[in-house]
């Protein structure tokens, strides 16, 4: 987080709206995984306040971070509003200089589908919708280009699908969904992958 604060100062000095937004997005992501959704939502809101008229995919990432944070807080209305905002922003995307870098500097469609699926599963209001959204995310990663694919996000989508199926009592289907995650080599079992299955059972903070 200290490095992110330094990066924001650099982006601010450069008067680079997209980079300011990207760093605020990163600052939202950092507290999300340790289970501090209120802080994550706060940084997402700060990012929206500095986004200006940027049209790159960083703005989509920011909206999707808000989606996940509010779902973990148990705020269904705010989650759905953020999902709608992400859809609107995606429809208006024009690739910018950050997108040209690729990698973590861009936010592809499969990742957006994964964030929305995870939020719906975490919210726990509609397991049927959570399952269909997770299936869409898993399918998107199976057909993703090399630049769009990330093993951690694909594993997250598979885990969300398993959790949605468990909620529907489909134990065999859940086992099938989570198998690719269990087959990952030990060195790829990062914190996000390990903690995702337990996240829906954690109390909101």
Count of alpha carbons within 13 angstroms of residue 98, beta-carbon side: 24
pLDDT band at 182 (very low <50, low <70, confident <90, very high): confident
Q: CA 26, CA 19: separation in Å to the nearest integer?
A: 10
Spacing of C-alpha 93 from chain mean position: 17
- B/e letters for 14-52, b = 16+ CB within 10 Å, e = fewer, are eebbbbbbbbbbbbbbbbbeebebebbbbbbebbbebbe
Convert the pLDDT of each residue in 9-18 to its tens digit: 999 999 998 9
In terms of Cβ atoms closer than 10 Å to its own Cβ (0-12, 13-18, 19+), residue 113 is buried
Q: Is residue 168 left, alpha or beta, with left meaning phi > 0 and alpha meaning psi from -120 to 50?
A: alpha
Q: Which residues contact 125 (CB under 8 A, 6 or more apart)?
A: 76
Q: In this model, does residue 24 exceed pLDDT 70?
A: yes
Q: Bigger pLDDT: 145 or 51?
A: 145
Going 72 to 73 to 78 to 82, the CA torsion angle's sign is negative
- pLDDT at res. 150: 85
The domain spans of the chain are 1-105, 108-205
Residue 205: per-residue pLDDT:
38
Total Cβ atoms within 10 A of residue 83: 22
pLDDT tens string 60-118: 999 999 999 999 999 999 999 999 999 999 999 999 999 999 999 999 999 999 999 99
The per-residue pLDDT for 201 is: 47
What's the mean pLDDT when you consider all of the chain? Answer: 90
Tokens found for residue 77 = 């209305």
Give the pLDDT band (50/70/90) at residue 125. very high
- Strands (E) in the chain, as ranges, are none
Can you give the pTM of this predicted structure?
A: 0.89
pLDDT band at 185 (very low <50, low <70, confident <90, very high): confident
Query: Quick one: pLDDT band at residue 51, thresholds 50, 70, 90?
Result: confident
């Amino acid at each position: 987080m200290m490095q992110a604060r330094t990066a924001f100062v650099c982006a601010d000095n450069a008067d680079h709206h997209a980079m300011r937004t990207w760093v605020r997005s990163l600052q939202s992501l950092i507290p999300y995984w340790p289970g501090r959704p209120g802080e994550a939502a706060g940084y997402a809101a700060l990012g929206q306040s500095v986004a200006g008229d940027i049209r790159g995919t960083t703005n989509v990432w920011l909206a999707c971070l808000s989606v996940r944070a509010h779902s973990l807080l148990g705020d269904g209305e705010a989650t759905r509003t953020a999902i709608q905002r992400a859809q609107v922003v995606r429809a208006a995307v024009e690739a910018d200089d950050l997108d040209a870098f690729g990698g973590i500097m861009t936010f592809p469609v499969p990742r957006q589908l994964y964030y929305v699926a995870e939020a719906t599963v975490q919210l726990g209001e509609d397991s049927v919708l959570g399952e269909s959204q997770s299936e869409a995310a898993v399918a998107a990663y199976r057909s993703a280009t090399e630049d769009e694919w990330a093993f951690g996000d694909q594993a997250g989508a598979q885990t969300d699908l398993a959790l949605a199926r468990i909620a529907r009592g489909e134990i065999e289907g859940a086992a099938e969904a989570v198998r690719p995650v269990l087959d990952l080599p030990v060195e790829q079992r990062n914190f996000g992958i390990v903690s995702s299955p337990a996240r829906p059972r954690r109390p909101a903070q």
